[in-house]
């Protein structure tokens, strides 16, 4: 009789231990799930939050054939495209140009499209730059003199606000303009040699697409998608008016 009671007592204790262990496991699983959930929310928020361009200059935005281009390398294209879009923005709404940056035109939103174009131009120029250097293309004395005038024109076209808020040095922008001159010379030679138009080898040209297909390109979206186009070299005041479609009222 006593033996049976002891056995039942041991079974009850074992049952309680199993219940306790299972309860601990459930708590740990829930805690782990909540930790992963919170981490996911934090990562999601941080990867969507616009970055401060000047504090992320060393971040890699794109890799072209194994060569990393940082946000510092991309600065010229960001500033240049912001200037182009801002010209349209100030025509669209002189008092509140930010409203244009928030509009939806031709099936795309203006700011993300400007970011895409800046990236495409940078990739195009890096591919053609390396091709030009490989082929030994250099600027002539006359072309270098013309480059000086083009550089002056760029700085004169730039808004004063942009000059005050450049994310990189003047020298860094000038260096990009010099590289662009070599790219454009090579593009002209490429078009002439193949009997094509110059535009056909632009970043959105049909013949450039065939060149692009032979190269390996990886855009680092966790960095690049956080670039707040329209607010890198420009400083727009916040506008809470709902964005409207192009041509809307």
Instruction: Give per-residue pLDDT as tens, 188-204.
Output: 999 999 999 999 999 99
Across the strands, what pairs with 64? 67, 217
Q: What is the pLDDT of residue 57?
A: 98
Indicate the pLDDT class of residue 107, thresholds 50, 70 and 90: confident
User: With contact defined as beta carbons under 8 Å apart, do 155 and 163 qualify?
Assistant: yes
- E-strand stretches of 79-215: 104-105, 108-109
Whether the predicted pLDDT of 181 surpasses 60: yes
**Average pLDDT, stretch 88-96?**
95
Find out if CATH 1.10.4030 is the number for domain 59-224: yes
Residue 240's Cβ-side half-sphere holds a number of Cα atoms within 13 Å equal to 0
Instruction: Provide the residue ranges of all domains of the chain, joining segments of one domain with +.
Output: 1-49, 59-224
User: Which of 226, 195, 194, 244 shows the shortest CA–CA distance to 115?
Assistant: 226
- Average pLDDT of the chain is 86
Tens-digit pLDDT profile for residues 27-45: 666 655 555 544 344 444 4
Residue 78's Cβ-side half-sphere holds a number of Cα atoms within 13 Å equal to 28
């Amino acid at each position: 009789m006593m033996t049976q009671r002891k056995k039942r007592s041991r079974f009850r204790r074992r049952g309680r231990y199993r219940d306790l262990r299972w309860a601990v496991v459930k708590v740990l699983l829930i805690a782990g799930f909540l930790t992963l959930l919170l981490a996911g929310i934090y990562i999601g928020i941080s990867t969507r939050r616009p970055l401060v361009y000047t504090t992320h200059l060393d971040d890699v935005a794109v890799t072209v054939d194994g060569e990393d281009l940082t946000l510092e390398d991309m600065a010229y294209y960001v500033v240049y495209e912001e200037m182009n879009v801002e010209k349209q923005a100030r025509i669209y709404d002189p008092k509140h140009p930010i409203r244009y940056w928030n509009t939806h035109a031709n099936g795309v939103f203006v700011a993300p499209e400007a970011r895409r174009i800046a990236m495409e131009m940078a990739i195009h120029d890096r591919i053609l730059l390396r091709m030009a250097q490989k082929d030994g293309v250099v600027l002539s004395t006359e072309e270098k003199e013309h480059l000086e005038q083009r550089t002056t024109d760029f700085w004169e076209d730039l808004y004063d606000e942009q000059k005050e808020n450049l994310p990189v040095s003047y020298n860094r922008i000038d260096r990009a303009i010099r590289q662009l001159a070599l790219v454009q010379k090579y593009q002209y030679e490429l078009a002439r040699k193949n009997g094509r138009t110059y535009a056909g080898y632009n970043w959105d040209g049909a013949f450039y697409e065939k060149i692009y297909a032979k190269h390996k390109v990886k855009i680092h979206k966790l960095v690049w998608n956080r670039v707040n186009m329209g607010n890198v070299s420009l400083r727009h005041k916040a506008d809470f008016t709902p964005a409207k479609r192009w041509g809307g009222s």
